Amino acid sequence: MLNKVLIANRGEIAVRVIRACKELGVASVAVYSELDRDALHVRMADEAYSLGGQTAAESYLNTEAVLDAVRRSGADGVHPGYGFFSENADFARAIQGAGVTFIGPPAKAIEAMGDKISARHAAEKAGVAGVPGRSDPLVDPAEVIGFGNEHGWPVAIKAAFGGGGRGMKVVNSPEEAPAAMESAQREAQAYFGRPEIYLERYLSWPRHIEMQILCDTHGNAIWLGERDCSSQRRHQKLIEESPAPLLPVEIRTRMGEAAVRVAAACKYVGAGTVEFLYQDGEFYFLEMNTRLQVEHPVTELVTGIDLVEWQLRVASGEPLGFTQQSIVHSGHAIEVRINAEDPAGGKFLPSPGTITRLRPPGGPWVRLDSGYDEGDTISQYYDNLIAKLIVWGPTREIARKRMIRALEETAIEGVATTIPADLYILAHPEFASGTHSTRWVEEKLSFEPLQSNAEAKLKAAGSLTEGGAGSGEKVLREVTAEVDGRRYQLKLWVPTGPEQESRPSTGVSSPTGRPTTPASRRGARPARSVSASGGSGLATGEVTVPMQGTIIKVLVSKGDAVEVGQTVCVLEAMKMENAIQTEKAGTVTKIKVSPGDTVGPGDVVVVVE
Ligand code: MV4
- Which atom of ligand 1 is found nearest the CA of 287? 9
pTM over 0.75: yes
CATH code of the domain containing 171: 3.30.1490.20
What's the confidence (pLDDT) of residue 454? 60
For atom 21 of ligand 1, which residue has the closest CA? Answer: 208
Domain shared by 197 and 237, yes or no: no
Could you tell me if residue 215 is inside a domain? yes
Q: Is residue 461 part of a domain?
A: no
- In short, whether 286's Cβ falls inside 6 Å of ligand 1 is yes
Q: Is 551:593 a contact under the CB 8 Å cutoff?
A: yes
> Is-contact 156 202, C-beta < 8 A?
yes
Q: Which residues of 386-407 are buried (b: 16+ CB within 10 A; e: fewer)?
A: bbbbbbbbeebeebbbbbbebb
Smallest CA-to-CA distance from 158 within 122, 178, 187 is with 187
Strands (E) located in 202-351: 207-215, 221-233, 236-242, 270-279, 282-289, 332-339, 341-342, 349-350
Whether 288 lines ligand 1, by a CB cut-off of 6 Å, is no
pLDDT reported for residue 535: 37
Closest by Cα among 95, 45, 162, 81 to 382: 81
pLDDT in tens, 180-195: 999 999 888 888 889 9
- In this structure, are residues 242 and 296 in contact, taking their beta carbons and an 8 Å threshold? no
Which of 305, 329, 353 is the last residue in one of the domains? 329
Q: Atom 17 (ligand 1): residue with closest C-alpha?
A: 165
Whole-angstrom CA distances from 477 to 20, 460, 484, 518, 587 are 43, 11, 22, 9, 42
- Give the chain's residues under pLDDT 50: 460, 462-464, 466-471, 499-539
Ligand 1 touching residue 168 (CB < 6 A): yes
Ligand 1 centroid – CA 310 distance (Å): 30
Distance CA 178, CA 145 (A): 9
Going by their DSSP bridges, the two strands 341-342 and 47-50 should be labelled as unpaired
Sequence-separated (6 or more) residues with CB below 8 Å from residue 306: 20, 300
**Which CATH number characterizes residue 347's domain?**
3.30.470.20
Whether residue 217 sits in one domain with residue 304: yes
**Alpha carbon distance 337, 240 (integer Å):** 9
82 and 177 in one domain? no
Atom of ligand 1 nearest to the CA of 232: 23
- 573 & 539 share domain: yes
Q: Are 254 and 191 part of one and the same domain? A: no
DSSP for 148-168, please give it: HHHH-S-EEEEETT--TTTT-
Total domains in the chain come to: 6
522 occurs within a structural domain? no
DSSP state of 465: B
Q: What is the pLDDT of residue 501?
A: 37
Mutate to test the pocket of ligand 1, among 438, 439, 443, 444 (most ligand atoms within 8 A of CB): 438
pLDDT at position 179: 93
